[in-house]
């Protein structure tokens, strides 16, 4: 094996090696405040009952609102929303009270649901927080039980993404560093499973 190309990665940059999952928006309301933030570190946790994880830094107002309310939504934004996502990920409601207006966010609610969500996304995952004080304090790790999920059928239907059939503006965006993202790419299929 030719190892001449293998270089050490500084530990503080190691996260970049797996951080290019789909960037999500996290929204919440506690009766007093509403916030939406961008998060790169969200992940599925369980099929059934459906659960997800999301890492929420202690510096974010969204985290405080979720701790107060016990509910949050993850949503999958699209390339069309790139500037909005970046703005939501860099401004903080703590020092920019008009963050949502500045970022151009339009909120709505699904019928019979109280969690505010962002218009124009490809999908929405509504969650009830499973309180886990150790994970939240020690790891900034929040676990949500999925209580409802929705998707835009132009890009997700019958349980499958159709990123390979839509225009670029519908693609998911995957944060890598600073203002740099990748879009989701081409569909590939393992032989014998086509």
Taking CB under 8 A as the criterion, which residues in 135-154 touch a second copy? 135, 139-141, 143, 146, 148-154
3-state secondary structure of 35: strand
Instruction: Examine residue 164 and tell whether it contacts a second copy (CB under 8 A).
Output: yes
Instruction: Report the Cα 26 to chain-centroid distance in Å.
Output: 6
Tell me how many degrees the CA angle 85-141-93 measures, rounded to the nearest 5: 40
Instruction: Examine residue 26 and tell whether it contacts a second copy (CB under 8 A).
Output: no
Instruction: Examine residue 113 and tell whether it contacts a second copy (CB under 8 A).
Output: no
Beta bridge partners of 160: 157
Per the CB < 8 A criterion, the answer to whether 159 and 153 are in contact is no
Which CB, 31 or 49, lies closer to a second copy?
49
| Footprint of a second copy on 85-104 (CB under 8 A) | 86
Instruction: Examine residue 80 and tell whether it contacts a second copy (CB under 8 A).
Output: no
Instruction: Examine residue 112 and tell whether it contacts a second copy (CB under 8 A).
Output: no
Tell me how far CA of residue 57 lies from CA of 2, 40, 130, in angstroms. Answer: 40, 12, 17
Which CB, 68 or 113, lies closer to a second copy?
113
CB of 4 to a second copy, least distance (A): 9
Which CB, 68 or 120, lies closer to a second copy?
120
Q: Provide the sign of the torsion angle of the four alpha carbons 58, 63, 69, 74, taken in this order.
A: negative
Instruction: Examine residue 32 and tell whether it contacts a second copy (CB under 8 A).
Output: no
């Amino acid at each position: 094996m030719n190892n001449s190309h293998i270089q050490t990665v500084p530990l503080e940059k190691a996260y970049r090696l797996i951080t290019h999952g789909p960037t999500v928006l996290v929204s919440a309301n506690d009766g007093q405040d509403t916030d939406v933030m961008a998060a790169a570190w969200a992940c599925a946790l369980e099929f059934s009952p459906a659960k997800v994880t999301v890492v929420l830094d202690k510096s974010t107002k969204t985290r405080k609102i979720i701790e107060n309310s016990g509910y949050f939504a993850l949503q999958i934004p699209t390339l069309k929303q790139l500037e909005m996502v970046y703005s939501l990920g860099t401004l903080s409601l703590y020092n920019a009270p008009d963050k949502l207006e500045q970022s151009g966010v339009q909120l709505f609610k699904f019928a019979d649901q109280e969690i505010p969500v962002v218009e124009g996304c490809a999908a929405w995952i509504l969650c009830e927080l499973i309180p886990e004080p150790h994970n939240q304090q020690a790891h900034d790790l929040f676990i949500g039980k999925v209580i409802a999920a929705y998707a835009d059928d132009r890009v997700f239907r019958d349980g499958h993404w159709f990123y390979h059939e839509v225009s670029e503006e519908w693609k998911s965006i995957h944060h890598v560093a600073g203002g740099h993202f990748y879009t989701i790419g081409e569909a590939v299929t393992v032989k014998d499973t086509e």
